[in-house]
Structure 1
Amino acid sequence: MVLPAQRAAAPTPAPTPIGFTPGAPAWLAKLGGLRNVVRQELVARQLDEQLGAVARAGGPLRVLDVGCGQGTQALRLARLGHPVTGIDPDPATLAAARQALALETPDTQARVQLLQGSGEDCGRWFGPAAFDLVLCHGVLMYLPEPGPLLAALARILAPGGLLSVLVRNGDALALRPGLAGDWAGAVAAFAGDAYTNRLGLPTRADRRETLARTFAELDVPVQAWYGVRVFTDLAADDAPVPAEPELALLLDAEERAGRTDPYRQVAALTHLVGARP
């Protein structure tokens, strides 16, 4: 007996990213965890590797941190002597950044300006070539598409400046659910770029080649890219940070993996650094 052909079920539309604010309390509660420590330290090391290309005779760089969150990278760069403007739309994370800034030395505090606003506000607030270094870390995943914000950031980047972008790795989106035994989630990840992050928010991943084309079209070609969190992505939210010397070994292993193929290709996050000619 021949059964009638069954009509394929229509795919479920991917949820539209709703922004970061609903997950801010959960994010702030996890700041001291292993996963965030690894992320921030690796991004710092990778960024420092690229900064020599834009340092003007050792002088300070004008830095913009879009989606600065609790201010980890903004304050670190300010300690190094760079004037930093941090922008974030969420009042809770911005309050955490201000509290952290209050603990810094007066010299560092004088170099930091924290503003409440979105990346889209940058186009109205700042003129062309206003910054030598623009950071956009963990922001694009909360937007329906990356193009408009990247175009706004490229416009305010000075000649010779760097654009540093950290995104969820769309080329390895199935890895996390697969390793966790979530087979339905792994199969679904092959079909698109939507996922639900650990904060429970609908978000979106980006593929490196697609972003690299966008960077090139904006005249900020990618000059380096890294993976972030290869070995520790599945760590529990409350996983403790190991003591030395184990922490140093862990970070060295993650750093090595983040710059070595094929490991960096399957990292949870992709870090791209583009340079304005």
Structure 2
Amino acid sequence: MARQLEEQITARFPVGQRLRVLDVGLGQGTQALRLARAGHKVTGLESDPTMLAAVRASLAGEPAGIQERVQLIEGDGRDTGVHFPAGTFDVVLCHGVLMYVDEPDPMLAGLARVLAPGGLLSVLVRNADALALRPGLSGDWDTAMTAFDTPRYKNRLGLTVRADRLAALTDTLTGIGAPLHAWYGVRLFTDLAADDAVPPPVEELTRLLAAEERAGRTDPYRAVAALLHLCGVRG
């Protein structure tokens, strides 16, 4: 998934351009490290000290040049105005974060503020319009029926969180001055795979990723993906 997102993000910019990236809620730092290895300057903002320590440990194993391109800050994604001036970044990543935020609009407005003109706001969310699919395909009919009536669901960590709808986020992006430029479905064919599943052989993995990428940009498949990747561009 990380490679797919990276390709969708960098496709917005000329090949070879070195980007200033803010990764809000960077988690284990997978996306941040991939972008730093590709030559981009990445700032990671994370509120969980344990997660931040894990990223620092991973970063310590990277070559010095990559370490120099990464800055890690302990902080909340809702407080970007405290840490950064307006127009600081070319790309802002908000992946797997909105599910924990009851009122996402103010946070997204703050993220749009720190984007430079023409900058990209990349948002990855659970798709509320497809919440019934995972439990339904697993034979969990009670959970599937509940998913038709609420955007709340229990994630794989056992936490009750919130999914988002494409239409609502499209309106929000327009309202904050970073209207939707493109959107993709993510995890159509792999959503039921276990977190600790062993990747298939390289040849099969290549075919799988090609199928995921094709479905993720093709109607009607992308509309029922487990996740939605929205790309808004700052006016």
What's 1:45 paired with? 7
Length, aligned pairs only:
235
What's 2:88 paired with? 130
Conserved in 1, the CA contact under 8 Å of 2:6 and 2:35? Answer: no
What's 1:147 paired with? 105
Separation in structure 1 between the aligned mates of residue 63 and residue 195 of structure 2, nearest angstrom: 31
Q: Which has the larger displacement, 169-178 or 88-97?
A: 88-97
What's 1:81 paired with? 39
- What is the Cα deviation at residue 198 of structure 1? 0.8
Residue 116 (structure 1) aligned with residue 74 (structure 2)? yes
Conserved in 1, the CA contact under 8 Å of 2:186 and 2:216? Answer: yes
What's 1:267 paired with? 225
Separation in structure 2 between the aligned mates of residue 205 and residue 50 of structure 1, nearest angstrom: 26
Q: What value does the CA root-mean-square deviation take over the aligned residues?
A: 1.3
Residue 194 (structure 1) aligned with residue 152 (structure 2)? yes
Residue 92 (structure 1) aligned with residue 50 (structure 2)? yes
Specify the SS of the correspondent of 2:202: coil
Select the residue among 172, 176, 184 that pairs with 2:142: 184
Specify the SS of the correspondent of 1:206: coil
| Letter aligned with residue 178 of structure 1 | G
Separation in structure 1 between the aligned mates of residue 85 and residue 195 of structure 2, nearest angstrom: 40
- What is the Cα deviation at residue 152 of structure 1? 0.8
After the TM superposition, which segments of 4 or more aligned residues of structure 1 sit over 4 Å from their partners?
none
Structure with the greater relative contact order (CA < 8 A, sep ≥ 6): 1 or 2?
1
Separation in structure 1 between the aligned mates of residue 55 and residue 81 of structure 2, nearest angstrom: 23
| Letter aligned with residue 50 of structure 1 | R
Q: Which has the larger displacement, 221-230 or 81-90?
A: 81-90
Structure (1 or 2) with the larger CA radius of gyration: 1
Separation in structure 2 between the aligned mates of residue 49 and residue 262 of structure 1, nearest angstrom: 22
- What is the Cα deviation at residue 44 of structure 1? 1.8
| Letter aligned with residue 94 of structure 1 | L
Separation in structure 2 between the aligned mates of residue 91 and residue 148 of structure 1, nearest angstrom: 24
What's 1:211 paired with? 169
Among all aligned residue pairs of Structure 1 and Structure 2, give the percentage whose two residues are the same amino acid: 61
| Letter aligned with residue 52 of structure 2 | L
Conserved in 1, the CA contact under 8 Å of 2:21 and 2:90? Answer: yes
What's 2:185 paired with? 227
Separation in structure 1 between the aligned mates of residue 195 and residue 91 of structure 2, nearest angstrom: 31
- What is the Cα deviation at residue 61 of structure 1? 1.7
Separation in structure 1 between the aligned mates of residue 196 and residue 90 of structure 2, nearest angstrom: 37
Specify the SS of the correspondent of 1:245: helix
Separation in structure 2 between the aligned mates of residue 244 and residue 259 of structure 1, nearest angstrom: 23
Specify the SS of the correspondent of 1:203: strand
Separation in structure 1 between the aligned mates of residue 11 and residue 91 of structure 2, nearest angstrom: 13
Separation in structure 2 between the aligned mates of residue 163 and residue 271 of structure 1, nearest angstrom: 10
Q: What pairs with 1:152-167 in structure 2 (closer than 5 Å)?
A: 152-167=110-125
Structure with greater strand share of residues: 2
Residue 245 (structure 1) aligned with residue 207 (structure 2)? no
Conserved in 1, the CA contact under 8 Å of 2:21 and 2:42? Answer: yes
Separation in structure 2 between the aligned mates of residue 59 and residue 234 of structure 1, nearest angstrom: 36
Q: Give TM-score scaled by structure 1 length.
A: 0.82
Residue 255 (structure 1) aligned with residue 217 (structure 2)? no
